[in-house]
Amino acid sequence: FVAIDILVGFLLVAMWLLSFDTRDPAVALPLSVGLFALRFGAWAGFLYRGLEPVRTWQQDDIREDEQTLLAVEQHLFRLPRRLNAVLAAGWGAYFIALPLLMWFGFPEAVAIGPGELPACVLQVITVIVGAYAIYSQLSKVLIDHTLAGIARALDPSKHRQLRDRVSLAPRMLWTGFALIVGPSAWLASLAWLETVHTARDLAVAEARADVDAAARVLEAGPESGQGPSPLEVVFVDPEQLPQVESEDPAHSEGFDVRQERAWAATRLADGRWISSQRDVELPLRRGGIILLLYTIAALIWGLTTIYVQTRVIMGPVLRLRNSARQLVEVGEVASLERLPVIDNDEIGDLTRVF
């Protein structure tokens, strides 16, 4: 459980740093790891406290205490839901706190602006849905052995009263929903970030083309016969330009992430500087519609497949249940004729045993 959480966390944090505009890894990486350690420590502490009844159950002196066993079993029944809620909330808080930390505290480490916010929201959805769905099943598997031991030690009639019947199909569909929506949202966030980066690079290139064209018109002079430039350029003081590294001292360009605005400046032959700016228009509506349509198509395809597979598994099991009930309650031997076909799988083994 812990190893999976650490491995998945390492991969998600690595993808986060690579997909965003990480300008100073020496600062961004320790901050990301430190925040991850805080999240992991809080969750591990909750896990340790939550498993305290398991350690109690392992003590031989309470194995005959029925009230203690009932309390331990009730706690373990509720533990997966609580554990997964804390885990999902922790992952969601991590992917909310990490962009906020970079935005307000360390903008020089990772450049995050309004354009990245949709990707951040999609990633929060991914980790919350994915963590809750996947770890809920894993936690049940991990404590199943302990629950089985407690059930054997308890009076069967009292043990049955604690259990509520839960159909397998909704659980399978919920898991399938999470496996579809989670990766889809994360991939959509990566696609959106790539769209944002491409739009910003294009805006910078257009701003540079503006000042280059205006510089040619201004330096040619009126005797060249060229009319005044219609481009929106202004004369600026070079001291007021943002300080950026440039191979050409007569040219400077960059992008203001917070304002989603590209700018470029060039120096004329007479020493004056001209500058141009371009605002970035991100395709929020088109991107949202595409994501919605893709998610609907994936859900229809994926959930239909999962439902059919669930019926393939549950159909023979339900026929076995009905045959066993008829055989035990009314002694109807003819029910054996309605048993499932014996296939070379676990259902076939169950049918042979029956």
Residue-wise pLDDT tens digits, 201-244: 999 999 999 888 888 888 776 555 555 455 567 888 877 777 77
Average pLDDT over residues 124-149: 78
Please state which of the ranges 117-121, 167-171, 189-193, 309-313 shows the lowest mean pLDDT. Answer: 167-171
pLDDT band at 295 (very low <50, low <70, confident <90, very high): confident
**Backbone phi and psi for residue 107, each to the nearest 5 degrees, phi listed first:** -65, -20
In this structure, what token pair is assigned to residue 303? 């959930």
pLDDT band at 267 (very low <50, low <70, confident <90, very high): confident
Q: Say yes or no to pLDDT of 186 above 50.
A: yes
Query: Greater confidence, 258 or 220?
Result: 258
Query: Greater confidence, 157 or 66?
Result: 66
Q: Say yes or no to pLDDT of 63 above 50.
A: yes
What CA–CA distance (Å, rounded) separates 105 from 24?
13
Average pLDDT over residues 73-82: 79
Residue-wise pLDDT tens digits, 29-39: 999 999 999 99
Q: Say yes or no to pLDDT of 274 above 50.
A: yes
Going by C-beta distance under 8 Å and a sequence separation of 6 or more, which residues neighbour residue 180? 295, 298, 299, 302, 303
- Residue 173's pLDDT is what? 80
CA 50 to chain centre: 25
Mean pLDDT of the chain: 80
DSSP letter (8 states) at residue 324: H
Average pLDDT over residues 65-94: 81
- Residue 221's pLDDT is what? 64
DSSP, residue by residue, 26-95 = HHHHHHHHHHHHHHHHHHHHHHHHHTHHHHHHTSGGGTT-HHHHHHHHHHHHHHHHHHHHHHHHHHHHHH
Q: Say yes or no to pLDDT of 99 above 90.
A: yes
Cβ of 32: how many Cβ atoms within 10 Å? 24
pLDDT band at 162 (very low <50, low <70, confident <90, very high): very low
Average pLDDT over residues 241-249: 75
Q: Say yes or no to pLDDT of 320 above 70.
A: yes
Query: Greater confidence, 62 or 2?
Result: 2
